[in-house]
Amino acid sequence: MTATHPLALAPVTAPPRTADAFAAQFLHNLNFDRGVALSASSANDRYLALAHTVRDHLMAQWLEDLRHQKQTQAKSVCYLSAEYLLGRQLDNNLLAGGLAEVAAEALSACGVDLDELRAHEVEPGLGNGGLGRLAACFIDSLATLGAPSIGYGIRYEYGIFRQTFVDGQQVEQPDAWLSLGSPWEVARPEEAQTIAFGGHTETFDEQGVSRTRWIPAWTVQAVPYNLMVPGFQNGRVNTLRLWSAKATNAFDLRIFNSGDYEEAVRAQTFAENISKVLYPEDSTPQGKELRLQQQYFFVAASIHDFLGTMLSEDYDLSNLPARVIFQLNDTHPVIAVPELMRVLVDEKGMPWDAAWAITRQCFAYTCHTLLPEALEVWPVELLGRLLPRHLEIIYRINEEFLAEVRERYGDDEMRIRNMSIIVEHPVRSVRMAYLATVAGAKVNGVAELHSQLLRDKVLTDFDDFYPEKFTNVTNGVTPRRFLRLANPELSDLITEAIGDGWVTDLARLRELEPLAEDAGFRAAFGEVKAANKRRLNDVLRERDGLEVGDGHMLDVMVKRLHEYKRQMLKVLHIVSTYEGVVSGRIAASDVQPRTAIFGAKAAPGYAMAKRIIHLINAVGSVVNADPRLEGRLKVVFPPNYNVTLAERVIPAADLSEQISLAGKEASGTGNMKFALNGALTIGTDDGANVEIRELVGDENFFLFGMSEPEAEALTVSGYRPSEYYQADAGLRAAVDLIASGAFSGGDRSVFEPVVSNLLYEDRFMVLADYAPYIAAQERVDAVYADHDAWTRSAILNVARTGFFSSDRSIRDYIDRIWHTPPLD
């Protein structure tokens, strides 16, 4: 475009950053964007006007970074993730933009309550749990480190469901997060991509070379929405590009012209369904067609977007690996591999071998699980119907790969069957993790133990074949959101002691170590924890009419509900204490005052998880109402645990429950957030707990339970949970009390499935770890009774867990996987 007006030629400059200027812009946005006077405005109007004002302040830099991203020849990271669990944006963007004080002053001068506007924001819940939140932490760190990068994902119209409880049971409500407007995104309809599905393929001859083309049956438009991702006070603003599905005109028109109006509308609904809703399963994926459509939709749009808009038209694609690395966040985006092959071979006319050599350098794969049932597979029948060309490409990749395997090992049919990307049973399917491992330049797990188990147990043969591919990058969390914003009082205390450099250099928390011996610092630290508990209580009271016990230890277990995470173990501990008191075995006065806080959503189709939620609520109702406990034991289970609630719960916690069966939790990231906020962990030797314990020291961590090899050995020798039940009177009493109907109004049938599952199946060995867990909880009580000793340990947990910053994770990705240029 050629500009003629002098103003259009001027560089974009950042707006003035005074409170007056901010107030003026806020009022301008309120009047001219929302179209209301301040006196007539709703909280939503004021929130949107404020958000737009913050956005305006960040916009100049954003435009600059977008321009730079297009021009630079530097290698970029494209982070491909089906989920981003972002949490609220307002405070984060105020902090990153260095606007918090200016905004507070401006709004107060206008007589506007900033806290009210903060509370007004509906968080974008475009993820299920750990994996989606990790992606959100990573894009924050990428922006803060100034790494050339872009995040790609799906703009779900409905995020993770809103959870309510009716009679203690989970009921799901749709999360219409966009309904009041979404000020942080900018739609770019003119940059839409057309995404094709279905149809068939044809081969044809071109000057003696056989080529293939795909004749799709239908298409849909992918419309990008840009979200700003500001780095922390570094003048950088990165982009998160989320795709929304829209019916294509051509498609509509054809049907309209045939006169079938209803059919045309149906077709539109069908296309737009693709980005309608986030699948709420996070562990046992169902092979749903719509889910595969979602995956291909966002991945194809992202690849085309990058190739089409980031590269110059005459770009030599054989240099692509020097320009981009696509990081696959689990297997959800793996269909990108055959898509890039299709583009290079079918559309750009590149020979297969050259295209494959490029493709294998352009992808890297992160695995987030060890559970066999969580490994994604897609039936060949479905893939062939939806993406016929991609299926052919996958077959050829597999053929050539297995030929290499044969060359190396001979006709070892067992090995070949075990390594094949295509599996025959129960139905012929594509193993996406295998495809990712074959295609990826690197494969990483998300904690040391997990990466080791991946090599030893899940991808064993691949480790033998490609040992150099495997590496570890231990997860991390952003210190901006989970310490600086979530725990302002602790942040101030830390900054007073060691300066504010820790926000972008979290390892500096080490400098706090000597202060654990400083009585004055301990007192101040204890005061912060107490203040955070009051702040949590304010939220719980207002949000749910709940309250934690006065002066109680806060014992917190917040995470998705899954049997492997073993919420049941925590329930048994509570029931056993309760049973002890009501049976007279324990004097109420000997119970260390505690409130157990739970937060957990269950996948809507996961019946056992839902029953466990019901049981927690049922136990809570009985325990909280029984005067015999003298208010010393409480159970609090606020519904709809999300990022916003996490930000209040974590800073208030004393004890962090990380009690999965060893070898099942890939990493965990909540465990890191708690330790950084001064909670002590009671945990198994699993995931990143291992590294947390190594760093904080055994004496500052309550370890219990079987190790992974011990659990494995018990499985091999034949695990019989009922033997543990028979052998332990305390356990028997707790299980019997649940079975008796004491928590279900005398109706024994309600929790019968939970009880019989524990006694006769207990896949995750809750009963085997029960006694060691109870013993560890007794150690917890003993240390907590010595307030000073507890606080000393808590301070050391903060001081020694700076390693778990997502900035460090991203640096590790750069060094070990991406090899993108050094950061400035």
Residues that bind ligand 26Q (CB under 6 A): 128-131, 134, 279, 281-282, 285, 291, 332, 368-369, 376, 446, 475, 665-669, 687
CA distances from 593 to 553, 573, 703, 785 (A): 6, 14, 22, 10
CA distances from 811 to 25, 80, 440, 454, 676 (A): 38, 18, 19, 22, 19
CB-count burial class (<10 Å; 0-12, 13-18, 19+) for 132: buried
Q: Give the helix ranges, DSSP H, for 86-207.
A: 90-96, 100-109, 114-120, 130-145
Nearest-angstrom CA–CA distance, 649 and 537: 9
* Minimum distance from residue 42 beta carbon to ligand 26Q (Å): 36
Instruction: Output 383 or 742, the one with its CB closest to ligand 26Q.
Output: 383
Task: Determine which one of 331, 669, 791, 801 is catalytic.
Answer: 669
Nearest-angstrom CA–CA distance, 813 and 326: 12
Is 560 among the catalytic positions? yes
* Minimum distance from residue 332 beta carbon to ligand 26Q (Å): 6
* Minimum distance from residue 285 beta carbon to ligand 26Q (Å): 3
Q: What are phi and psi of 144, to 5 degrees?
A: -70, -35
Is 368 among the catalytic positions? yes
* Minimum distance from residue 446 beta carbon to ligand 26Q (Å): 4
Nearest-angstrom CA–CA distance, 197 and 195: 7
Instruction: Output 271 or 446, the one with its CB closest to ligand 26Q.
Output: 446
Instruction: Output 54 or 134, the one with its CB closest to ligand 26Q.
Output: 134
Provide the greatest CA pair distance for the chain. Answer: 91
Task: Determine which one of 34, 155, 389, 560 is catalytic.
Answer: 560
Instruction: Output 160 or 512, the one with its CB closest to ligand 26Q.
Output: 160
Q: Provide long-range contacts, Cβ within 8 A and 24+ apart, for 246-250.
A: 246/192, 246/220, 246/221, 246/222, 246/271, 246/272, 247/220, 247/221, 247/271, 247/272, 248/194, 248/219, 248/220, 248/221, 250/219
Question: How many Å separate Cα 2 from the centre of its chain?
Answer: 44
Contact 621, 637 (CB under 8 A): no
* Minimum distance from residue 690 beta carbon to ligand 26Q (Å): 12
* Minimum distance from residue 326 beta carbon to ligand 26Q (Å): 18
Instruction: Output 94 or 278, the one with its CB closest to ligand 26Q.
Output: 278
Q: Give the closest residue to 233 by CA, choosing from 19, 61, 486, 15.
A: 61
Instruction: Output 48 or 569, the one with its CB closest to ligand 26Q.
Output: 569
Nearest-angstrom CA–CA distance, 494 and 196: 53
Which amino acid, one-letter code, is at 36?
V
Q: Give the helix ranges, DSSP H, for 387-518.
A: 388-409, 413-419, 432-439, 448-453, 460-465, 479, 488-498
Cis amide linkage into residue 351, ω under 30° from 0: no
* Minimum distance from residue 70 beta carbon to ligand 26Q (Å): 31
CB-count burial class (<10 Å; 0-12, 13-18, 19+) for 755: middle
Is 811 among the catalytic positions? no
* Minimum distance from residue 669 beta carbon to ligand 26Q (Å): 5
Q: At what angle do helices 729-739 and 567-582 cross, to 10 degrees?
A: 90
Is 673 among the catalytic positions? yes
Nearest-angstrom CA–CA distance, 684 and 706: 7
Q: Give the closest residue to 239 by CA, choosing from 483, 53, 97, 64.
A: 64
* Minimum distance from residue 592 beta carbon to ligand 26Q (Å): 30
* Minimum distance from residue 75 beta carbon to ligand 26Q (Å): 24
Instruction: Output 445 or 638, the one with its CB closest to ligand 26Q.
Output: 445
Contact 766, 728 (CB under 8 A): no
Task: Determine which one of 57, 155, 455, 559 is catalytic.
Answer: 559
* Minimum distance from residue 334 beta carbon to ligand 26Q (Å): 11
Contact 641, 547 (CB under 8 A): no
Is 559 among the catalytic positions? yes
Sequence-separated (6 or more) residues with CB below 8 Å from residue 356: 341, 397, 400
* Minimum distance from residue 460 beta carbon to ligand 26Q (Å): 20
Task: Determine which one of 75, 484, 565, 792 is catalytic.
Answer: 565
Instruction: Output 437 or 669, the one with its CB closest to ligand 26Q.
Output: 669
End-to-end CA distance of the chain: 32
Instruction: Output 620 or 687, the one with its CB closest to ligand 26Q.
Output: 687
* Minimum distance from residue 665 beta carbon to ligand 26Q (Å): 5
Nearest-angstrom CA–CA distance, 529 and 738: 34
Instruction: Output 125 or 130, the one with its CB closest to ligand 26Q.
Output: 130
Instruction: Output 121 or 376, the one with its CB closest to ligand 26Q.
Output: 376
CA angle at residue 713 from 708 to 717, to 5 degrees?
150
Sequence-separated (6 or more) residues with CB below 8 Å from residue 460: none
At residue 677, the 3 state secondary structure works out as: coil
Residue 245 is inside which H or E element, if any? strand 237-247
Instruction: Output 172 or 736, the one with its CB closest to ligand 26Q.
Output: 172
Q: Give the closest residue to 565 by CA, choosing from 602, 604, 519.
A: 602
Instruction: Output 283 or 302, the one with its CB closest to ligand 26Q.
Output: 283
Q: Provide long-range contacts, Cβ within 8 A and 24+ apart, for 489-496.
A: 489/528, 489/531, 489/532, 490/525, 490/528, 490/532, 490/651, 490/677, 490/678, 490/798, 493/521, 493/524, 493/525, 493/528, 494/798
E strands along 339-389, which residues? 363-366, 377-379
Nearest-angstrom CA–CA distance, 623 and 632: 10
Task: Determine which one of 155, 481, 611, 673 is catalytic.
Answer: 673
Task: Determine which one of 368, 390, 533, 693 is catalytic.
Answer: 368
Q: Active-site residue numbers? A: 368, 559-560, 565, 669, 673
